[in-house]
Amino acid sequence: MKVDRDPSRSEEVIREAAQLIVNGGVVAFPTETFYGLAALATDYQAIDKLYQLKKRPAQKSLSILISDPAELDGWTETIPNQALSLVARFWPGPLTLVFAAAPHLPTNLTADTGKIGVRISSHPVAQALVREVGTPITATSANRSKSPNCRSADEVITQLGSDLEAILDAGLTPGGKVSTIADVTTRPPKILRIGAITAQEVLSCWEMGS
């Protein structure tokens, strides 16, 4: 496992981490809330490895990070117009939107739910990593299932040890509330988890986009 704490090597480190992900590895990276785990969202085996690493129940799907709203078309079946209002207001940021998934997505990514959670992170390292990989990456938290979320690389190491290919150490993340999750396959959207963005903010923006 590689942990890089030298900010002067930031671009090179991002390239190296992206290559590890493309090659099927799992890499921890910072987000605007806590550290997350990145695996290639098109790689069934890498996703399976991530589940085993986290000890995550197979029936719990994973969300993904994209780099631009234009990528939604390739990963979702339908995009409600009101959802675009949520995208315009809250992305990049801590709002995960759950869409009907495109049929080609790995079944272990969606846990056979037919749905996929998507967001764009506002953290510059997360954004740079997704761009460098060139395709969406997983966005699940960097911790064992049911264990505390991690704000630092050292906390990630304590929980996951050498099971990771690399950790992008950007110091402490802000922590606080996790991302809010809203299922936009229903009208109005169903709030699956309340976090940094309130249910009222989501629903009000949805209504304005109607």
pLDDT of residue 173: 95
Q: Which domain holds residue 180?
A: 2-208
Q: How far is CA 122 from the centre of its chain?
A: 11
The model's pTM is 0.93
Burial code of 83-93, b = ≥16 C-beta within 10 A, e = fewer? bebbbebbbbb
Residue 162, Cβ density class (10 Å: 0-12 exposed, 13-18 middle, ≥19 buried): exposed
pLDDT of residue 11: 87
Q: How many structural domains compose the chain? A: 1
Task: Please say if the pLDDT value at position 191 is more than 80.
Answer: yes
Task: Please say if the pLDDT value at position 12 is more than 80.
Answer: yes
Residue 96: which CATH number?
3.90.870.10
Alpha helices, DSSP H, located in the chain: 10-22, 44-54, 72-75, 81-90, 107-110, 124-133, 153-160, 199-208
Strand partners, 29: 36
Within 8 A by CB and 6+ apart from 201, the residues are 90
Task: Please say if the pLDDT value at position 1 is more than 60.
Answer: no
Find out whether 142 and 160 touch, Cβ atoms under 8 Å: yes
- Each residue of 107-121: pLDDT tens digit? 999 999 999 999 999
Task: Please say if the pLDDT value at position 31 is more than 80.
Answer: yes
- Each residue of 118-169: pLDDT tens digit? 999 999 999 999 999 999 999 999 999 999 999 999 999 999 988 899 999 9
